Amino acid sequence: QHRPITEAAHRHGTAICLQLLHAGRYGYHPLIQSASARKSPITPFSPTAMSDAQIRRCIKDFARAAQLAQRAGYDGVEIMGSEGYLINQFLAPCTNQRDDQWGGSADNRQRIAREIVRAVRERCGADFILIYRISLLDLVPDGQSWEDIAALARDLETLGVTVFNTGIGWHEARIPTIATSVPHAAFTWASEQLKHLVNIPVIAVNRITTPEQAQAVLDQGHADMVSMARPFLADPHWVAKHEASEPINPCIGCNQACLDHVFSQKTASCLVNPFACHEQERQLTAFTQTRRVLVIGGGIAGMAAACYAAERGAAVTLIEQDAELGGQFRLAARVPDKADFQGTLDYFRQRLAQLHVNVQCGRAAQASDLDGDQAVDHIIVATGVLPRQLDIPGSTLEHVLDYQQALRGQHPIGQRVAVIGAGGIGFDMVEYLAHAPQTLDQWLQSWGVDRTMAHPGALTPAAATTPAREIHLFQRGTTKPGKHLGKSTGWIHRSNLKRYGVQVHTGVHYERITEEALHFHFREKEHEQAQQLAIDTVIVCAGQLSHHPCAALIQDRAHTLIGGVKLASELDAKRAVLEACEAVLALP
């Protein structure tokens, strides 16, 4: 059944390899197996330890799968030996406590990897590409030592591996390796170490998203090839567009529509490209007649809607009241962790120009926009949200800012700051306020990554992080702050609270703000003395309200509301872009 895939790849002049992955204890069912019966901290099921016969069977299964891949037309296979999956579970002392020939010494722990490579090479012949994905940094306690990894690499090269792909960090590692906050190409120094040891090509991975970053990795001699996955969800035409010097829609490392979907059993897609993995049902077919579309609001939803409508062949006008396009997404790009968001805006801006969308910034929509020389057929309203203001005495004082004012950087922000509201934006605000610029080395040290690789798992005690400010984060509810953040990135934001020494106050009732202090009490302790916290600035991140300034203007004209103006609650960029896509697909 795989033949249509391999034939399609070959039609386009490219080679294609199939990754063979045994998840071991990361499997998501009750019958999972591993080297030892040790449960992983990120799955609900406990594995049983594989018997000698089961291990031998598993080796044969890898070889048979490789042979089937070969018959299906694949040019090779990649054997997944990293990220904490089965083979990696055998390799590392923390997950392998066996005392038979598959455990104990490094030589025994590595036996399964050698036997799989040997079996695949024997079964598939000399010309078949055999990529082995080797874990260079396990980033878990009692992970592999660099000496062990180096010995394994040499052995596997001798046994016939064609190319080494590399892996950084197990899925359970508490060090971010792929999120937006990870510096680009942050770990290619590790692939460079491998390159010094072996004579076959080495592939670098993690947070390499643009052609420029990829080229820099090659130019620095850190790798011979570069591997990417998410960038092809963001833009499947990445390679062709690079060759044609066309703008590429870059992956922003948010994980919101890819990994977070997978972890919640939904179809993977992409925040910046909602067509990803929905190519069959979401197709921008050309309009059969002339269409004029007016998009009001030039945030990310409006920009995407204007592009998609123009791609269907409509004559599109996009009106944005602000002097610049981008809306909330542009503000989010000011958060140090989210600087990549700027790439999305740049991409959509270039597409608007290429598609000849009539973009008009710095003015509100007016009646003549609807019925000028030619009447518009459809209006897409994407006017977004306004920040919810705090309604207590003192909330209009000069040192009380909403999050938009704070992020615009036009108001001074003091050293002691109270952030009101601990949702996604409250956490972003903490990052914005606490962040101090770091070199790559400082970033690695602050997360406890041992660049010398002298310690097992490449872990070392994390260096203390010095936050730029003293921050207090408040919420009225008593649930754990950040509980509803993305599955694959929420833990990073929550660890940052600790790293930055943020003082969290939950179950709070706000009373008033004065020039010097925020006055509040804890809801369940009303009888207790009111609290008073000396602060320089209060920043309100208390959610948002829909902003629909053109309701009267459009009245009964055909229109669609998308993004925050449709529903402010739980608005995020993923929903905004998806609704842009759906609105345009629904146009007759």
Which positions from 332 through 351 interact with ligand SF4, judged by CB under 6 A? none
Residue type, 570: E
Of the two residues 18 and 252, which places its CB atom closer to ligand SF4 in the complex?
252
Which positions from 255 through 284 interact with ligand SF4, judged by CB under 6 A? 255-258, 270-272
Q: How is residue 81 written in tokens?
A: 């030996």
Nearest to 205 by CA among 232, 180, 233, 178: 178
**Whether 85 is catalytic:** yes
Count the site residues for ligand SF4 by CB under 6 A: 14
DSSP of 489-542, one letter per residue? Answer: THHHHHHHHHHTTPEEE-SEEEEEE-SSEEEEEEGGGTTSPPEEEE-SEEEE--
Based on the shown chain and the rule CB under 6 A, indicate whether residue 424 belongs to the binding site for ligand NAP.
Answer: yes
Based on the shown chain and the rule CB under 6 A, indicate whether residue 542 belongs to the binding site for ligand NAP.
Answer: yes
Of the two residues 275 and 403, which places its CB atom closer to ligand SF4 in the complex?
275
Nearest to 61 by CA among 100, 110, 21, 107: 21
Q: How is residue 503 written in tokens?
A: 């003082």
Q: How is residue 374 written in tokens?
A: 């030619």
HSE, CB side, 13 Å, CA atoms: give it for residue 17.
19
x-or-dash string of contact with ligand NAP, 360-399, rule CB under 6 A: ----------------------------x-x---------
Instruction: State the minimum distance, in angstroms, from the CB of residue 260 to ligand NAP.
Output: 9
Partner interacting with residue 34 (select from ligand NAP, ligand SF4, none; CB below 5-8 Å by kind): none
Instruction: State the minimum distance, in angstroms, from the CB of residue 55 to ligand NAP.
Output: 41
Partner interacting with residue 211 (select from ligand NAP, ligand SF4, none; CB below 5-8 Å by kind): none
The distance from CA 243 to its chain's CA centroid, rounded to whole angstroms, is 26
Tell me which of 79, 233, 497, 587 binds ligand SF4, using CB under 6 A. Answer: 233
Which positions from 213 through 232 interact with ligand SF4, judged by CB under 6 A? 230
Nearest to 34 by CA among 58, 50, 51: 50
Partner interacting with residue 541 (select from ligand SF4, ligand NAP, none; CB below 5-8 Å by kind): ligand NAP
Based on the shown chain and the rule CB under 6 A, indicate whether residue 272 belongs to the binding site for ligand NAP.
Answer: no
Query: Rounded to whole angstroms, how far apart are CA atoms 390 and 370?
Result: 36
Instruction: State the minimum distance, in angstroms, from the CB of residue 525 to ligand NAP.
Output: 16
Binding piece for ligand NAP, criterion CB under 6 A, among 229-237, 353-361, 470-478, 550-558 = 470-478
Of the two residues 103 and 482, which places its CB atom closer to ligand NAP in the complex?
482
Q: What angle do CA 283, 287, 288 make, to 5 degrees?
A: 130
Instruction: State the minimum distance, in angstroms, from the CB of residue 333 to ligand SF4.
Output: 13
Element (H, E) at 218: helix 211-219
x-or-dash string of contact with ligand SF4, 455-484, rule CB under 6 A: ------------------------------
Q: How is residue 533 written in tokens?
A: 């916290």
Exactly one of 85, 347, 403, 500 is catalytic; name it. Answer: 85
Q: How is residue 522 written in tokens?
A: 């804890």
Residue type, 485: L
C-alpha distance from residue 210 to each of 12, 243, 253, 292, 574 (Å): 22, 13, 12, 34, 21
Of the two residues 200 and 420, which places its CB atom closer to ligand NAP in the complex?
420
Query: Rounded to whole angstroms, how far apart are CA atoms 25 and 43?
Result: 8
Q: Residue length, the chain? A: 588
Nearest to 538 by CA among 387, 394, 355: 394
Tell me which of 35, 173, 400, 422 binds ligand NAP, using CB under 6 A. Answer: 422
CB of 133 within 8 A of CB of 78?
A: yes
Partner interacting with residue 257 (select from ligand SF4, ligand NAP, none; CB below 5-8 Å by kind): ligand SF4
Partner interacting with residue 234 (select from ligand NAP, ligand SF4, none; CB below 5-8 Å by kind): ligand SF4
Tell me which of 253, 384, 387, 456 binds ligand SF4, using CB under 6 A. Answer: 253
CB of 167 within 8 A of CB of 78?
A: no
Query: Rounded to whole angstroms, how far apart are CA atoms 12 and 361?
Result: 41
Residue ranges binding ligand NAP (CB under 6 A): 256, 388, 390, 420-426, 428, 475-477, 486, 541-544, 570-572
Chain positions contacting ligand SF4, by CB under 6 A? 230, 233-234, 251-258, 270-272
Q: Which residues are catalytic?
A: 85
